Amino acid sequence: MPKTSSDLKRRAASGPTMGTRWSVVLYAPEAADLAPLDRALQAAVEEVDAQMSTWRVESDLMRFNAASEGVWTALPARLLTVLDCALGIGRLSGGAFEIAMGDAVAAWGFGAHPADPEAIRAALSRPRRPSYETLELDLAGGRARKHAPMALDLSGIAKGYGVDRLIEVAQDHGIAYALAAIDGELRALGGQPDGRGWAVAVERPDPELRAVQSVFELRDLAIATSGDYRHQVTVGGRTLSHTMDPGRAAPLIGGPASVTVLAESCMEADALASAFMVLGEAGWPLAERLGIEVLWGAASV
């Protein structure tokens, strides 16, 4: 791959995934045939969706959700990688990030069906232990088992991992400069050939207005934003955030309007943004301990 900026041209690729679209902006020689790269990028995010979607009954995640307690289930290595990261961040955050919330997510209407009052009551009354205590992973053996009833939902981490996969594929094809995105999750590979970083704007958390709150320049860094101002449902006449409060098994009330996190991987940034939504600014000590940058939006009402 040519290393001088004059040898490289800005190129772009995109496609559907996870109910939205992925995109990659990169620099490559103008004459380079990017068709193989485009196919590989699409295949990478399709693999993530096939393994981790709760919208696809045949996904590996849904297969594991249907498995009996105490029984080892063979799972793909990439899914196990995400589960391992999720459990680690769950433990670090004291349970603020929790993937065993699939029943509550569905009950409150954030899945494929509208909110169900009976299912909400069941979710609210169900005894729960953190998944980092009740989900056992055997990474070397490629398997997992649960020691309590649970329905896993990876919507707070899978898109971030999808972005990481886009960057990995770009690297495998000899790309040195790229910016990959799925919704509000982005990751930069290097900077730009002229030495500038990749400028990424963070939206002001206002449902009535599209405006920029902050701009970050990324170099070999990921950024993810979680917020309650775009994805909502109305239950009993009240508009509710899609962010779930694991302590209540219900939509978060009174949290920040948004949280933006910068981290080395987009998988980590995605999950941590969800955790800090639940923790609010009480999460400052954790951010300082992890050495990461966190931007909180105004408090939600």
At residue 123, the pLDDT reads 93
At residue 205, the pLDDT reads 62
Task: Look at residue 247 and tell me whether its pLDDT is greater than 60.
Answer: yes
Tell me the percentage of the chain whose pLDDT exceeds 70.
89
Across the range 149-157, mean pLDDT stands at 96
Confidence class of residue 301 from pLDDT cuts 50, 70 and 90? very low
Among 237, 38, 266, which residue's Cα sits nearest to residue 159? Answer: 266
Q: What angle do CA 238, 242, 244 make, to 5 degrees?
A: 105
At residue 253, the pLDDT reads 86
Across the range 218-238, mean pLDDT stands at 75
Could you please report the per-residue DSSP string of 160-206? Answer: HHHHHHHHHHHHHTT--SEEEEETTEEEEES--TTS--EEEEEEPS-
CA dihedral 63, 65, 71, 75 (to 10 degrees): 50
Q: If you count them, how many residues does the chain have?
A: 301
What would the pLDDT profile of 43-55 be if each residue is shown by its tens digit?
Answer: 999 999 999 999 9
What would the pLDDT profile of 111-136 be if each residue is shown by its tens digit?
Answer: 878 889 999 999 999 999 999 999 99
Q: Helices (H) and strands (E) in the chain — how many of each?
A: 9, 16
At residue 234, the pLDDT reads 58
Task: Look at residue 209 and tell me whether its pLDDT is greater than 50.
Answer: yes
Task: Look at residue 285 and tell me whether its pLDDT is greater than 70.
Answer: yes
Measured in whole angstroms, the distance separating CA 63 from the mean position of its chain's CA atoms is 20
As given in the structure block, the two tokens for residue 41 are 């990028």
**Least confident residue range of 11-25, 159-173, 219-233:** 219-233
Q: What is the pTM of this model?
A: 0.92
Task: Look at residue 62 and tell me whether its pLDDT is greater than 50.
Answer: yes
Task: Look at residue 230 and tell me whether its pLDDT is greater than 60.
Answer: no
**Least confident residue range of 138-147, 237-246, 259-268:** 237-246
**9 pairs with which residues across the strands?**
28
**Least confident residue range of 97-106, 150-159, 239-248, 258-267:** 239-248
